[in-house]
Amino acid sequence: MDVLLLSRLQFALTTAFHYLYPPLSIGLGLLLVIMEGLWLKTRQPVYHQMARFWTKVLALTFAIGVATGIVLEFEFGTNWATYSRYVGDVFGSALAAEGIFAFFLESGFLAVLVFGWDRVSRKVHFFSTCMVCLGAHFSAIWIVVANSWMQTPAGFHIVGEGMKARAEITDFWAMVFNPSAMDRLFHTLCGAWQAGAFLVVSVGAWYLLKQRHEDFARASLRVGLLAGMLASLLQLVSGHDSARGVAKNQPAKLAAFEGLYTTTSRAPLTLFGWVDEKEEKIKGGVAIPAMLSFMAHNDVNQPVTGLREFRKEDRPPVNLVFQFYHLMVAAGLGLIALAGLGLFYYWRGCLCEKRWLLWLLVFSVLGPQIANQAGWFAAEVGRQPWIVYGLLRTSAGLSAVVKASQVLTSIILFSVVYLLLFAVFVYLLNDKIQHGPEAADLSPSGKLALPTREAA
Amino acid sequence: MNFDALDLNTVWFLLIGVLFTGYAMLDGFDLGVGALHLFTKTDEERRVMLNAIGPVWDGNEVWLVTGGGALFAAFPNVYATVFSGFYLAFVLLLVALIFRAVAIEFRSKQPMRWWRQMWDIGFSAGSILSSLLIGVAMGNIAWGIPLDERGEFAGTFWSLLHPYSLLLGVTTLALFTMHGAIYALLKTAGPLHDRLRGWVRNGMIFFIVCYAVTTMATLLYVPHMAARMRAHPWLFSLALANLLAIANIPREIHHGRDGRAFLSSCAALVTLMGLFGLEMFPNLVFSNPDPTHSLTIRNAASSAKTLGIMLWIAITGVPLVISYTVCIYWIFRDKVKLDRMSY
């Protein structure tokens, strides 16, 4: 195997694994703010118990997220050195900003959130929870800005020629607010909120099924389902905006999402199918006529660009992108339906009797994870063959001095380590869930128990 | 305000130095505590050691992440050359850092003996290997690495492991171990605290021997570093400050002033990093054998515009970072008391 394929595999593997965790940290961060806020407002001990329980889970996901995140930062240099030289002037400042503005905030206040329960007052603790949530969101901002710049580069010019060519920044804010950045940020954040909300829902549903910790379970479902529903609906809006942006800025990618080869007005929206890349058509597909034109341009008569407008070497792998994209959309729609059903029966007061629905809600935790992973694969494979869209090919971004055998060694090493980490994570998370929330957490201790506020 | 009057390349050389010095000073004691971890006997002692760094290790590691990001942004050529050139070494460093990080989080979550031993070893081995590799990388940067005319690394993984770089690896381990032992002294009480005093003494001896050998080896075999010192005699005052800081550590320990000993140890680390950086200046990566291929603050840097933007980011961000870092160290200033939130 060649260095290009191996390096792409390694980056895909390490990113996909990493991306199981940050969405959970971001989503749980937000839910913790809600839970702790509810506790401060209503003084119902069950919210305190929930906040304590999910804090432990957040600490676990955060630790793995940090450990696997450093790998990605290093990989730009180790595996994609030519890319790093080419984009460092533009891309690097977003990464540095992420460290300064997001990671310090997040990791610093996480200490107070996790270890500070009995040390600081309620308000200081709540403030820390908010800062952890904010830090997690900041980290999403900067990394999605950087990644979006690779999709829709802006605010730069090219200096030098041939091997010496590189992108230099001309307008920092144009780089930050590059055409796809805000759509994709919103889309990513909605996905993260869904990940957190449905984890809470899933655990609540499990306890209801097993008839354990029922007060905790009902409160979890109430908070989780509402947050999950809201995030899923927002996701629908942001997904639509995002797709319209892709149609405008990366037409080849949109055509791959939809498996559309011929440029046509009244372009159909394919619901599912199999793209035959040799014959350049979709097999066994079901489509809604004219819907894609309407979705992309708000006008059925507007043409949507097809893949034949692009040279073969400029097209992404179509079927792969098509399937990932459709998997993401299906998972997203499924989550809306599930959250809707859950809320409906919850408000009717008979959720406990619908065991089939509770089982579905237990597995709903997989929905956002599948959608998040599939969405990223669609976005990044859809960017191919470019590493920076339209500017630098992926094959031109490799490290000049790194050999295939070295990359193979590191892939094997990371695979073994990550398999172990994943097994341990699932084991510990399951153990925590089976153990359940602490009864002792129903009565706050330490400074938190004090009726009036005291300085930290 | 604009930065026209400033030499931004030099400013960023210094700022990157500050970030990596912050990392060495802060994560240095985490790594040192890790290196000592297996010397502790009982489960409770091990938990005390873990919780001594519990609330802060995560934030300390962010200095490395931010340093890496800043290096990427300010000197992309250095970032690209060093990271791709040190490929396997950095992959090993990553694996070591991963194990160390997750071991802290995982260890005390299960009561089984084998479970805790497994993560104890992971934590300690990860810390020791990280310290060694960081030292080896520094050793190579000091010694110089072969670069071709494009500024790409022209050696192999094995060529990175020469006596001088290995010596710096061991010295770094010694320094971090001493630094970590002194930090642990501040966070513990009772019998563990008393035994730590012995480890601090051994750590100091270990470090001072390594330090002496490294200094001699540098003067004898790394002429380009010594040459800068001769050309800029004021650097001798930094060397002197470094020597005084190191000499002050045993003195403070002897008088039982652990806090001051820790500050001296921090000062020793800062002056050492300062010496290292200023003796390298203006090179970021020294090319050995052909110094004309060296990567400098000029030929490896980003545009003045980017360096200016980054300086704005630093001016806004760093005061915030320092203020809440101080708050968090203040909140967790007491000696470790295990409770149900602890690791």
Contact criterion met (CB < 8 Å) for A413 and B109: no
- Chain A hits for B314, CB-CB cut-off 8 Å, are 100
- pLDDT surpassing 80 at residue B134: yes
Question: pLDDT tier at A394 (50, 70, 90 boundaries)?
Answer: very high
- pLDDT surpassing 90 at residue B208: yes
Contact criterion met (CB < 8 Å) for B66 and A100: yes
More confident residue, A281 or B173: B173
Q: Out of A64, A108, A117, name the one closest to residue B102 (CB).
A: A64
Q: By the CB < 8 Å criterion, does B54 face chain A?
A: yes
What is the residue type of A391? L
Rounded to an integer, what distance in angstroms lies between the CA atom of residue B98 and that of residue B103?
8
Neighbours of B266 (CB within 10 A): 20
> Which residue in B has a C-alpha nearest to residue A173's C-alpha?
B309
pLDDT in tens, B267-320: 999 999 999 999 888 889 998 888 888 888 888 888 888 898 899 999 998 898
- Chain A hits for B332, CB-CB cut-off 8 Å, are 111, 115, 119
Q: Mark which residues 200-259 of B lie under 8 Å from A by CB.
A: none
Query: Which residue of B65, B152, B340 to mutate against A (max A Cβ within 10 Å)?
Result: B65
Rounded to an integer, what distance in angstroms lies between the CA atom of residue B145 and that of residue B280?
13
Place of tokens 């009995």: A118
> Which residue in B has a C-alpha nearest to residue A166's C-alpha?
B302
SS (H, E, C) B193-221: HHHHHHHHHHHHHHHHHHHHHHHHHHHHH
Residue B270's pLDDT is 95
The answer to whether the CB of A103 falls within 8 A of the CB of A139 is yes
Longest pairwise C-alpha distance within chain B: 62
- pLDDT surpassing 50 at residue A180: yes
Phi/psi for A169 (5° steps) reads -75, 140
Rounded to an integer, what distance in angstroms lies between the CA atom of residue B332 and that of residue A115?
9
Q: Mean pLDDT, to the nearest integer, of B207-230?
A: 90
pLDDT in tens, A372-392: 999 999 999 999 889 999 889
Q: Out of A85, A107, A456, name the one closest to residue B58 (CB).
A: A107
Question: pLDDT tier at B190 (50, 70, 90 boundaries)?
Answer: confident
The CA distance from B135 to the nearest CA of chain A, in Å, is 18
Q: By the CB < 8 Å criterion, does B68 face chain A?
A: yes
The answer to whether the CB of A419 falls within 8 A of the CB of A28 is no
Q: Out of B150, B152, B306, name the one closest to residue A93 (CB).
A: B306
Q: Out of B154, B305, B317, name the one closest to residue A101 (CB).
A: B317
- pLDDT surpassing 60 at residue A455: no
> Which residue in B has a C-alpha nearest to residue A81's C-alpha?
B80
Average pLDDT for chain A: 89
Degrees (nearest 5) of the Cα angle B259, B264, B266?
95
- Chain A hits for B320, CB-CB cut-off 8 Å, are 101, 104-105
* Highest mean pLDDT of the ranges A162-166, B316-320, B335-339: B316-320
Question: pLDDT tier at B72 (50, 70, 90 boundaries)?
Answer: very high
Rounded to an integer, what distance in angstroms lies between the CA atom of residue B265 and that of residue B211?
13
* DSSP-derived secondary structure letter, A447: G
Q: Out of A103, A115, A400, name the one closest to residue B54 (CB).
A: A115
pLDDT in tens, A320-334: 999 999 999 999 999
Contact criterion met (CB < 8 Å) for B321 and A104: yes
Contact criterion met (CB < 8 Å) for B101 and A109: no
Residue B118's pLDDT is 92
* DSSP-derived secondary structure letter, A284: E
Residue A177's pLDDT is 93
Residue A451's pLDDT is 53
The answer to whether the CB of B286 falls within 8 A of the CB of B280 is yes
The answer to whether the CB of A428 falls within 8 A of the CB of A420 is no
> Which residue in B has a C-alpha nearest to residue A400's C-alpha?
B152
Residue B200's pLDDT is 92
pLDDT in tens, A196-229: 999 999 999 999 998 888 889 999 999 999 999 9
Q: Out of B76, B84, B340, name the one closest to residue A89 (CB).
A: B76
pLDDT in tens, B228-259: 888 888 888 999 999 999 999 999 999 989 89
pLDDT in tens, A436-450: 888 777 776 666 665
Residue A118's pLDDT is 82
Contact criterion met (CB < 8 Å) for B55 and A111: yes
Q: Mean pLDDT, to the nearest integer, of B68-72?
A: 92
Q: Classify A272 as helix, strand or coil.
A: strand
Q: Out of A114, A120, A159, name the one closest to residue B341 (CB).
A: A114
Rounded to an integer, what distance in angstroms lies between the CA atom of residue A220 and that of residue A50?
8
Q: By the CB < 8 Å criterion, does B145 face chain A?
A: no
- pLDDT surpassing 90 at residue A22: yes
What is the residue type of B16? I
Q: Out of A67, A85, A88, name the one closest to residue B73 (CB).
A: A88
- Chain A hits for B72, CB-CB cut-off 8 Å, are 73, 76-77, 84, 88, 91-92, 95-96
DSSP letter string, A366-417: HHHHHHHHHHHHHHHHTTTTEEETTTEEGGGSS-SS--HHHHHHHHHHHHHH
By the 10 Å C-beta count (0-12 exposed, 13-18 middle, 19+ buried), B44 is classed as exposed
By the 10 Å C-beta count (0-12 exposed, 13-18 middle, 19+ buried), A452 is classed as exposed
Q: Is the ipTM of this complex over 0.85?
A: yes
Residues 6+ apart with CB under 8 A from A256: A307, A315, A316, A317, A318, A321, A322, A325, A382
> Which residue in A has a C-alpha nearest to residue B321's C-alpha?
A104
Residue A456's pLDDT is 38
What is the residue type of B113? R
- Chain A hits for B98, CB-CB cut-off 8 Å, are 67-68, 70-71, 417, 421
Rounded to an integer, what distance in angstroms lies between the CA atom of residue A344 and that of residue A358?
13
> Which residue in B has a C-alpha nearest to residue A413's C-alpha?
B95
Q: Out of A112, A402, A431, name the one closest to residue B328 (CB).
A: A112
The answer to whether the CB of A356 falls within 8 A of the CB of A362 is no
Contact criterion met (CB < 8 Å) for B310 and A93: yes
Contact criterion met (CB < 8 Å) for B76 and A92: yes
Phi/psi for B285 (5° steps) reads -130, 120
Question: pLDDT tier at A296 (50, 70, 90 boundaries)?
Answer: confident
Residues 6+ apart with CB under 8 A from B131: B31, B32, B35, B169, B172, B173, B176, B177
- Chain A hits for B306, CB-CB cut-off 8 Å, are 89-90, 92-93, 168-169
pLDDT in tens, A123-132: 889 999 999 9
Q: Out of B72, B104, B110, name the one closest to residue A84 (CB).
A: B72
Q: By the CB < 8 Å criterion, does B302 face chain A?
A: yes
Place of tokens 């690791």: B343
Q: Classify B297 as helix, strand or coil.
A: coil
Degrees (nearest 5) of the Cα angle B33, B39, B45?
75
Degrees (nearest 5) of the Cα angle A266, A270, A273?
145
Rounded to an integer, what distance in angstroms lies between the CA atom of residue B246 and that of residue B209?
12
Question: pLDDT tier at A283 (50, 70, 90 boundaries)?
Answer: confident
Rounded to an integer, what distance in angstroms lies between the CA atom of residue A218 and that of residue B155?
62
pLDDT in tens, B79-111: 999 999 999 999 999 999 999 999 998 988 888
- pLDDT surpassing 50 at residue B144: yes
Contact criterion met (CB < 8 Å) for A103 and B66: yes
In 3D, which of B319, B321, B331, B334 has the Cα closest to residue A455?
A: B331
pLDDT in tens, B112-122: 889 999 999 99
Neighbours of B48 (CB within 10 A): 25
- pLDDT surpassing 80 at residue B178: yes
Q: Classify A264 as helix, strand or coil.
A: strand
Q: Among the residues of A43-121, which ranges form H helices?
A: 45-79, 81-97, 104-115
Q: Which two tokens stand for residue A59?
A: 């600490």
pTM of the model: 0.90
The CA distance from A79 to the nearest CA of chain B, in Å, is 6
Rounded to an integer, what distance in angstroms lies between the CA atom of residue B78 and that of residue A84?
10
In 3D, which of B147, B23, B165 has the Cα closest to residue B77?
A: B147
Rounded to an integer, what distance in angstroms lies between the CA atom of residue B286 and that of residue B290?
9
- pLDDT surpassing 50 at residue A305: yes
Contact criterion met (CB < 8 Å) for B313 and A70: no
